[in-house]
Amino acid sequence: MKSITSYTSEAFVIQGGKPLKGRVKVSGSKNASLPIIMASLLPREVSIIENVPDLLDTLTAFELIKSLGASVDFQNGVATIDARYLRDYKAPDEMVRRMRASVLVMGPLLAKFGKAVVSMPGGCSIGVRSIDQHLKVFEKGGANIEVKHGYIHLQVDKIKPVEHTFEVITVTGTENALMFLSGCERRSLLRNIALEPEVMDLVDVLKKMGVEIEIEDRTAVIRGSSELKSFKHTVIPDRIEAGTLMVAGFLTGGEVVLENTRVEHLGSVIEKLREAGAQVELLSLNSLRVKRDGDIKPLVISTAEYPGFPTDMQAQFMVLCCLAKGVSEIRENIFENRFQHVAELQRMGANIHVRDRTAIVKGVEKLSGAEVYSTDLRASASLVLAGLVAEGTTTVRDIHHLDRGYEKLEEKLRSLGATIERLPRREG
């Protein structure tokens, strides 16, 4: 398994103006892989996870569970995980700071050991994401919670059944609660849960382990087991990578066929692309074609929990709106600080004004190549998209953000005809 330190480099250099054409295969979902990797700590036998993307975040997740005593073999997208000999229940500070999803070890460790010590995650560049919703479920389940020296210490003797309504819809909160309650043999009830496809993929895994879960609307009924079975599971395709590639094909005036995707997970993205003038042809349940013949039309976008428009696609669609014939409005409802890409797009000639959580985007004739800096994962993707259509050369710095969530993106774009090169780390 490759080491994390050898995986990153720092910049993309992109020559804009080439329509993307061809076929491309979508990788496995990062946001589905991470909770499933954490869930592999629950069984007492070896589990196998297929279609795992080779990313900084998945490698960090493997490093974390290895530090707890699990053994991991990861080759060609297949992870074989043996958690029979876990010896620790502490998630170190450096792991949680590197990847906030590390907090997802809390639920499995409490269910398996009755103990967990996890560093406080704090905020991140796109906004504060509190874990109080996680802790309330643990507390109702009988866990004692203390914060000492920057770490959350959790302990439970026997998990009690829980009836809980989440105050806000939270993806990781739902996932942590489901994994925690998989260790309770009595019936629990969770209301106002997240329904993202990545959550449902975890539900499928827990069912394979022997957990009884029934979901109706936003309510889940869970009955766990004291003897959870090992599992073999294929991770769903990454709907955000798929959406990013769809925007790339349309934005550049090309024609792109996506393979190994799940069309039913892309409803709001497909709808907005069609509103913008894209021709989206559904070839099968797992493939589609995107192309553009005319001008880009302006959009009104408001991010929302699934099945609404995903916050993880907001930055990419903003690039599209930058070149639309008219004025677009984008409202970000999920994270309070997710417009950091705006300043970088303005360096490329975009006309964007932000007030509170709303961006007004006036379309321009063209974007111009510039040196720009990534601030977070999806902002990185938006700057790459902008570079693909900008006049001249664009250099996107700090692409370690992008390496967290897109597997071999430059190779996929090159296979579609893009001129994009990865530069080594710049010293100084």
- What CATH number has the domain bearing residue 261? 3.65.10.10
- Distance between CA 284 and CA 109 in Å, rounded? 40
Structural tokens at position 45: 């036998």
CB atoms within 10 A of CB 402: 24
**What is the pTM assigned to this prediction?**
0.94
Of 234, 267, 286, which residue constitutes the final position of a domain? 234
Are 241 and 160 in the same domain?
no
Are 87 and 136 in the same domain?
yes
pLDDT of residue 2: 45
Query: Mean pLDDT per 10-residue run, the chain (428 residues)?
Result: 49 97 98 98 96 96 96 98 93 85 95 93 50 94 93 96 96 97 97 98 98 97 95 98 98 98 98 98 97 96 97 96 98 86 96 95 98 91 98 95 93 98 76
Letter for the amino acid at 404?
R
48 contacts: CB under 8 Å, gap ≥ 6: 78, 79, 80, 81, 231, 232, 233
Q: Which residues are catalytic, by number?
A: 124
Residues 51, 309, 242, 378: what is their CA dihedral angle, to the nearest 10 degrees?
A: -90
Are 226 and 255 in the same domain?
no
pLDDT of residue 266: 98
The reply to whether 90 falls in a domain is: yes
- Distance between CA 391 and CA 370 in Å, rounded? 9
The reply to whether 68 falls in a domain is: yes
Q: Give the position of tokens 């050369």.
A: 393
- How far does Cα 328 stand from its chain's mean position? 25
How many Cα atoms are found within 13 Å in the side-chain-facing hemisphere of 126? 22
Which 3 state secondary structure label does DSSP give 272?
helix
Are 354 and 394 in the same domain?
yes
Are 382 and 258 in the same domain?
yes
pLDDT of residue 425: 74
Are 307 and 350 in the same domain?
yes
Of 184, 202, 234, which residue constitutes the final position of a domain? 234
Contact by Cβ (8 Å): 331, 304: no
Are 222 and 204 in the same domain?
yes
Question: What's 235's DSSP letter?
Answer: P
The reply to whether 5 falls in a domain is: no
Are 252 and 303 in the same domain?
yes
Alpha helices, DSSP H, located in 152-288: 171-181, 197-209, 239-251, 267-275
Determine the structural domain holding residue 283 and report its residue range.
Answer: 11-27+237-423
Of 175, 206, 234, which residue constitutes the final position of a domain? 234
Structural tokens at position 243: 């959406």
Are 104 and 211 in the same domain?
yes
The reply to whether 122 falls in a domain is: yes
- Distance between CA 39 and CA 34 in Å, rounded? 9
How many Cα atoms are found within 13 Å in the side-chain-facing hemisphere of 281? 8
The reply to whether 80 falls in a domain is: yes
pLDDT of residue 120: 83
Report the number of distinct structural domains present in the chain: 2
Are 308 and 211 in the same domain?
no
Are 209 and 351 in the same domain?
no
Are 208 and 288 in the same domain?
no
